[in-house]
Amino acid sequence: MEKSPVSAAVIRRLPRYLRYLGELLLRDVERISSQELSRLMGLTASQVRQDFNCFGGYGQQGYGYNVAFLHREIASILGIEEQQDAILVGAGNLGRALINHISFERRGFHLVDIYDRDPKLVGSSLHGHTVHHIDLLEEHCARHLPSIAILTVPRLAAGEVVTRLVACGVKGFWNFSSLDIRLPDVTVENVRLGDSLMTLRYRMKQRD
């Protein structure tokens, strides 16, 4: 329970550090300086050192950082060893793609159930899981409380689903709907694909 007021900007860079360090590890690189790593990643060496020092001194003067050690530490900071149970709500195109595409286990999550309200999808199998009807949610959660929900339902359905999930005790949302979730004691990570595409549109226009 470390009271770490580490800024969101730093946290958002951690997975990227983890990825680069993982690659160095595969290439049997043993040590790396903030200088080299920054060049590799397109950051400044100063930023790399500041970022790592938010969590403690992982390097050694005159040597740099031990790749394997740093990789382990960042993985641990992100908390990906302690698996948490997750459910997917919304087994449409996007939900199905996420389940097949993202490695949840590698990122600290264990998928336990999939829900949808479409009778055509209920009962079908998806990545080794049976799609359940959303009305079984409360019953299932009473037995086996998932801590996060991946929300890939249409916007109009999202409000009700969120209320029910929060009532069940879900504490985190990976939210792909355009509904803004603002609730106390709930952590939300919004993925706004449409917004992302529109900013690309703008930035390209600026170049012309």
Q: Which residues make up the interface to a second copy (CB under 8 A)?
A: 1, 4, 8, 11-12, 14-16, 18-19, 41-42, 77-80, 82, 84, 92-94, 96-98, 100-104, 107-109, 147-148, 171-172, 174, 178, 180, 182, 185, 187, 189, 191-208
Residues forming beta bridges with residue 150, ordered by sequence position: 88, 174
Q: How far is the CB of 58 from DNA (least distance, A)?
A: 5
Give the shortest CB-117-to-a second copy separation in angstroms.
17
Comparing C-alpha atoms, which of 155, 157, 147, 198 is closest to residue 176?
Answer: 155
52 makes contact, choosing from DNA, a second copy, none, with CB < 5 to 8 Å by partner type, with DNA
31, burial (CB in 10 Å: exposed 0-12, middle 13-18, buried 19+): middle
Of 45, 31, 145, 46, nearest in space to 87 by CA: 145
In whole angstroms, how close is the CB of 66 to a second copy at the nearest point? 22
Q: Which does 26 bind (CB under 5 to 8 A by kind): a second copy, DNA, none?
A: none
Using the 8-state DSSP alphabet, how is residue 109 labeled? Answer: E
- Interacting partner of 202 out of a second copy, DNA, none (Cβ under 5 to 8 A depending on kind): a second copy
* Residues found near DNA in the complex (CB under 7 A): 7-10, 32-35, 43-47, 49-50, 52-53, 57-65
Cα separation, 175 vs 181, whole angstroms = 8
Q: Which entry of DNA, a second copy, none binds 92, CB below 5 to 8 A by partner kind?
A: a second copy
Rounded Cα distance between 70 and 59, Å, is 8
Which residue, 136 or 198, is less far from a second copy as judged by CB?
198
Using CA atoms, how far residue 53 sits from 33, 74, 100, 176, 186, in Å, is: 14, 12, 36, 33, 28
